[in-house]
Every structure is written in structure tokens, then in C-alpha cells.
A and B are shown apart, each in its own frame.
Chain A
């Protein structure tokens, strides 16, 4: 009888211990898969667009500045290493219609060009699901300066070019994000500077962000233009745009301090027209500031 009781007790305890708070917790279902946030801190890296879009109902004001050559013929102490000059200046606004769709407009000093952009997040990297994000980017640019010669722009369409890009990005770790963005530039014959150059150009951008501190990252990007559809035997010496910089984030602001060989800010301008190189002093200092404004509460369920 005693033995039977003992067995009963043991069985009772065993059943009691077989299920405890932890084992039940482990079996509760919970959402595991979230969209990966902040692959990049800003919609722009140094030169290229990232896969990031504005949050819904958020407006970002973006200012970019490029100084003159640090070295070489146009640089050195005569121009305070380029700081006397502004090769390009961009002022623009980007607005998030939804978390996935951003529209924007801006104006560049170079060619007095106005540009309009649209960005759409097609695919979104997830913690456990999809391993990468894809954003489609389109930008049209309109040159408004006086023609340099009477027949430079025969009709208004000669002043306009278009760029399309597909930006594929992945956040590998909280500190490392990389992207690759193939693109194609459509431009009219009138905008081709070197007679031997292709009218439309392929471009392939690569870029990355490497966090060094919680709010400070090293950013870099490189765009292949030479070696793709562009002929090798041009009279003009074109170089592939390459930029490297430091990005600092402070709440609603993102600051970027950078160096690049491209004189121009928008991709429509720097993809076809980069003639400066890092090796001959053609590198320049630049900075960008973006300020975010939240224009109204979003609905809680849209995320």
C-alpha cells in the first residue's frame, strides 16, 4: 500500500513538473517575422539613392552641397581646397504618401535643373522571411538654364532626361547594410557631351553602410558607368563616381560629411558627366543635411 502511494505521488509530481510555466510559454505562438527597419538611415547614401523611403505622411527637407576640387589645377590653397567653390547645390523635398511610396522634387545648381522623383518599395526584407529589399526609383530632370549655343536645345524635350533604378538592399547585421542598384539613363542626343558616347547609359551602383557607433556610420558608394554600355575610346576622360563619407544621425536630422569625385548631386547628372578622378585632385568635400517633419499621425494598423 505504501509503495502504491509512493508511485502515485511520484506520478503526480511528474505530471505536475512535466508542464510548467516555461514549457507552456515556449509553445505559445507569437509573431516572429517583422519587416527589417533602417537598412539605411537616409534615402540617400553618398551619391546614390538607398532603398529607404519616407515614412507615411513624413516630409523630408534635403540639402546637399558639393565644393570644388581639393587638389589639382582648380584646388589647393587658391580656393581653400575647393571650399571657395560650389560645383553643385541641391534643395529638395521628399514626401511619403505611404510607407512604401515617396515622391519628391528638387532643384540643382548644375544646369539649373529641376528634378522630380518617385520611389516605391516593392519588396521588404523580413527578419525570418525575405532576405532582401527591393525599391524602384525613377527620376526625371529638366535643364532650365539658357542654352550655351543657339541650337543646343532644339526643342523642350532636349532638356529632359530620365533615370530608372532598381535598388536591391540587405541589412546583414545591425551594423552592416549593402546594396546594389542597376539603372538605366535615358537622355536626348542634345545632352551627350562627347560625340562618341552612347546616348542612353547603363549604370550599376554598389554601396554600403557600416556603423561605427550607434548613431555614426561610414557610408560609401561606387557607380560603374565606364565598362558597361559606354564606349572605351572616348575623347573625354570620364570616371566612375565614387563617394565615401560619415553619416551622423541625431533624432530628426541626418548629417552626412563626405568626399567624392563627382561634381554633381543628382544621379541624372553624375552618372553621365563625372569627369573628375580621385587620383588627380578631383576629389571634393561635400555635405548633406536632411530634416524630417511628421505631418500628421499615422494610423496604428498600417505597419
Chain B
């Protein structure tokens, strides 16, 4: 009995949180007239590998565009980043996260994805790869966001410039938090 408690105790004490403050989030809009790409390397996120909790946040203002005017329009006219500064995802993995060293696996996170102040229930597929020393958890994900779902309006005259569905790519290296 004591032994079981002891195991439980060490399990709790052993680190189970992974964090990053430099997650890369890239999105891509492909439309007849132009392709638009933006990237942020300032996403922050925490994963609890024990219970599968994940929280992810990226500041809309941290996205950089090739054209400065596009960046301004993105913030001012589309996502209104002064009113809705962040995009967030909060959820839980469906099934356990295997943290065996060197292991690569597919995990689906189910939770609430919020952009432009509008929240949607989403299931986002990710690939998680544990480093050989178990200290780094690499996560990559690819999913699509429909502008309409988040009340991001594209004027009709600009439909040829801006796609209605945006491809999003997330890449992050989480470091283990040791206690």
C-alpha cells in the first residue's frame, strides 16, 4: 500500500509539464491574385502530459507579413487585434500522451479555439515527438481556419486577394519543466 502511494507520489513530483515561449505559428492564404503568408515565433504554450491538458496562445500583433501594409490591414481590418489581441486554444488530448523517450505519435486535441473573439469547438490533430533524452517534446500541427467561422469579414472586392479558408501550421519545441 505504501509502495503504491510512493509510486504515485514520485509520479506527481516528476515533471509532467512542458512549456514553450517560442512556438512558431504560420498561416497561409492562397487566392487567385496573391498568396499571403504570415509568421509568428512568439506563441506560448503549456502541455500537461499526465492528463493531456494543453493551452496555447499567440498574440495577433506578433504575426509578421512580408508587406508591412498587409500587416497593418490584418491587425486593423480583419482580426481587430486591439480589441481581440490573442488567438488561443485550450483543450485536452483524446487519449493519453506517451512520453517514452524517442517516441513519435499522433494525438488529437479537443478543445476551444478562439480567434477574433469567436470560439469554436475544434479537434486538432498533432504529431508529438519526444526527444531521445526526453527533455524536448516537439509538436507539429496543420489545420484550417474558416474566416467566416470567426466572423472575420473579407470585402467582396477583395475575394481574389484573400482566401476564405486559411491554412495554419504550428511548430513548437516544448521544454520539460523539472521540479
Binding site for B on A (CB under 8 A): 5, 8-9, 12, 15-16, 19-22, 24-25, 28-31, 34, 37-38, 55-56, 58, 99, 127, 174, 214-215, 249-252, 292, 294, 297-298, 300, 303
Contact = CB atoms under 8 A, between A and B. Distances in A.
A212 to B, nearest CB: 14
A255 B9 CA distance: 67
A25 B55 contact: yes
Contacts of B73: 251
Given A20-B48, A21-B54, A38-B76, A303 B71 contact: yes
Contacts of B39: 300
A22 to B, nearest CB: 6
B158 A303 contact: no
Contacts of B72: 37-38, 55
Interface stretch (B58-66, B98-106, B137-145): B58-66
B68 A56 contact: yes
Contacts of A214: 77, 80, 153
Interface of B: 1, 5, 8-9, 12, 17, 19, 21, 39, 42, 44-48, 53-55, 57, 59, 61-62, 64, 66-69, 71-73, 75-77, 80, 82-83, 153, 155, 157-158, 161, 177
Contacts, number: 94
A294 B19 contact: no
Contacts of B83: 174
A15 B19 contact: no
A55 B65 CA distance: 12
In order of increasing CB-CB distance, the 7 nearest A-B pairs are A55-B68, A21-B53, A34-B61, A174-B82, A24-B46, A28-B44, A21-B55
A42 to B, nearest CB: 12
Contacts of B155: 215, 250
A21 B48 contact: yes
Contacts of B55: 21-22, 25
B17 A19 contact: yes
Contacts of A25: 44-46, 55, 57
B32 to A, nearest CB: 15
B177 A24 contact: yes
B21 A30 contact: yes
A250 B67 CA distance: 16
